[in-house]
Each structure stands twice: as C-alpha cells, then as structure tokens.
Amino acid sequence: MQNDKDRYWDCLDQAMDASHSGRVEEALAWLEEALKAHPGGAEAHNGRGEILWDEGRVDESLYEFECAIEADPKFSSAHMNRLEILIEELAEYRLALEACDELLAGRALLPRLDSTFQAEICYLKSKALFYQDDLQGAVFLIRRSLKAMGDHPTYSAFEGHVLFEMGEYRTARRVLERTSMVDPDSSHVAYSLGLVLERIAYGEEADVSPMMSDEARVASEASFQRACSLDPIQFPMPLEVSDTFFSEAVDAAVKNLPASVRAYIENVPLVVEDFPTVEMVKNERVSPQILGLFMGIPRTEAILTEQVPDLDRVLLFKRNLEKHCRTRDELIDQIQITVRHEIGHYLGLDEDDLERLGLA
C-alpha cells in the first residue's frame, strides 16, 4: 500500500504535469490530494500559490505562500513568492521591506543566506525602495546584487531603469547597452534603452553635441523597433501626432472643463514640452515619464504666500503622452484626464481627492 509520503510526492508530480498542460483545475485538485496526504506540505502550498497567482487570485495566493512558510520556514521559494506579491500586486512595501531585512539578517530558522538567495532578496528590496521613490537606495541594493551575481540581465536591466528615472541618462545607456549584449532578446531592455537614447537625442545634457544627438536619435528609433518586434503587444511603436493636432486636443480639454473651473485658470498657462527637463528629474524628483505637472502654489495656499501668481503653470509632456497611448482617440482622452488632474492640483486637491473624483 502506498504510504502518505509517496502519495504526497506522486500527487505533486501529477499536479505539475496538469499545470504545465494548462489543466488548472486538475492541478489544484491534485494539490488538494497532496495536502490530504501531508497537510503540512510546503511544496503543495507553494504550488497552489503559484497557480492561484497566475489565475489572478492574489489574496488566496498570498495565503498559500504564507502557509508554505509556516510549514517550512527555510523554503526560500515561498519567501520570494510572498515578497513578489507584496511588492508587485499589493503595494505593501513596508511589510516587504521588513521581510527582506529579516531574511537578510540570516537567522538560523530561515533560508540559508547563500550568495544567490542574498542577491535575490536585495533585488526585491531594491524594487520596494524604488516604488517608495528611494532611488538611491534602490541603486545601492541592485548593485549589491550584481556584485554577488555578476552580469545578471534582470538585475542590470533594473539598474538601468532606476538610473533613467534618476536622470542619469548616459550612465543608464552604458548599463543597458551592456545588458542588451547579454540578453539581446529582452523587449524590456530594448525599450528602456530606447527611452534613454531618446533623452540623449533631445540634448537634455549640456555637453551633448549635435552629432551625438543625431546618433542617439537613430539608435533610439532602432531600439523602439527592436522592442516592438520582440513584443508588439506590450511595446507598440510610439504614437506620433503633429503639434497642431496636440494643441487642438489641449484646447478641447480646457473647453470641456466646467465654466467655474475655467474662470479660476484664466491666468494659468498650459505649456506643452516634449519631456520634463533633466533639472526637473534630478532636482525636483520628477519621473522622466510623467505625463503632466503643475508647477507653482495651489490656489488654496496662494493667499498665504508671496509667490508671484504668474509663476503658476501646467506642463504637458507631449512625447510622454504619445507613448502612453496607442491611438489618437486614446491620446485625446488621456490629454483630457491629464489636464483635469493637473488643474486639480492647482485648485488644491491632493492625490486622494483626485482619485475619488476620477481624476487620478
């Protein structure tokens, strides 16, 4: 008669075969059978978590990973899966950072902190810091991962992306070009490189010569085309519209505002730029991919300051908005959303207010 241990592993094998063949419900049923044979089976709980995650059942998935960790605190895969869910799905960055620090402390009851596991935890911690806008901390940790693992394309690609968000465009270019040689079939790397080269092409750094700018423009276009050829669904070629079309869409967005709001913004210019300047990115901590920005003092605070009202303005970043949209109709809609959002900031609304009003 088959003992419980053999039954457990046999059910896991059956579940794996079913999962790989796309038979999700059958795989889950086999994992239930495995847990009947061994209720504390960490592998079965982790397997259920991974399948449920793929099915978009995030809360159930997190529960299964936590059951796996409770069953076997040394099971590193369950720890990493839990961290990924906390960071990427639930935005629970504080919990994720606490868990990373606990794992990095190397306690005896937790997974052994070998170089590979340490590098992965540092990578996940760097992502949590990145989402909390601690870009310097994110770069420090991802470089720690790279020091442990060498030319790891996932880590290098993330380093390049963080450097791009910091406005360190030429350093990001070096990192991403090196990464593209290691992993030439990565659409993410090709697209990120296109973004970086595009900023260099537009001469956002003072010592970029016209020749360097032209070379970067050609290389940027080639990188976007490469990303599109590798993954046309996620990375279609950037939309481009004329300045006239864009201006008319902006004018229409303003006209669609309530009359009472238009009266408040008569003296607030809407300025169209291609991108935020590198000074904004570095000094004001503005994302280089931001769609729009209100600069000045919100109207609700203006009476308490001595700022000259003429300094208030709303900026719209044309090329970022174009990349955010796939069609002209989407662009028109997004321009309206962005205009309302930034005017909302001028009127003194915070992000929670904007989200409640559908302007986030």
Burial of 353 (0-12, 13-18, 19+ CB in 10 A): middle
pLDDT of residue 260: 79
For the chain, list residues with pLDDT below 70.
Answer: 1-3, 203-212, 299-310, 353-360
What global pTM score does this model have? 0.88
**3-state class (DSSP) for residue 335:** helix
pLDDT of residue 7: 93
pLDDT of residue 279: 92
Q: What architecture is the 151-237 domain classified under in CATH? A: Alpha Horseshoe (1.25)
pLDDT of residue 267: 81
Contacts of 106-114 with CB under 8 Å at 24 or more apart are: 109/73, 109/74, 110/73, 110/74, 110/79, 111/73, 111/74, 111/75, 111/76, 111/79, 112/74
Question: What residue segments make up the domains of the chain, in order of their start?
Answer: 151-237, 243-356
**Residue holding tokens 């579940």?**
15
Within its chain, how far is the Cα of 309 from the centroid?
35
**Residue holding tokens 């693992």?**
149
Multiple choice CATH, 243-356, 3.30.2010.20, 1.10.1060.10, 2.170.120.30, 1.10.3720.10: 3.30.2010.20
**Nearest C-alpha neighbor of 318 from the set 254, 287, 273:** 273
pLDDT of residue 259: 85
pLDDT of residue 206: 46
pLDDT of residue 353: 66
In the chain, helix, strand, coil percent, each to 5? 70, 5, 30
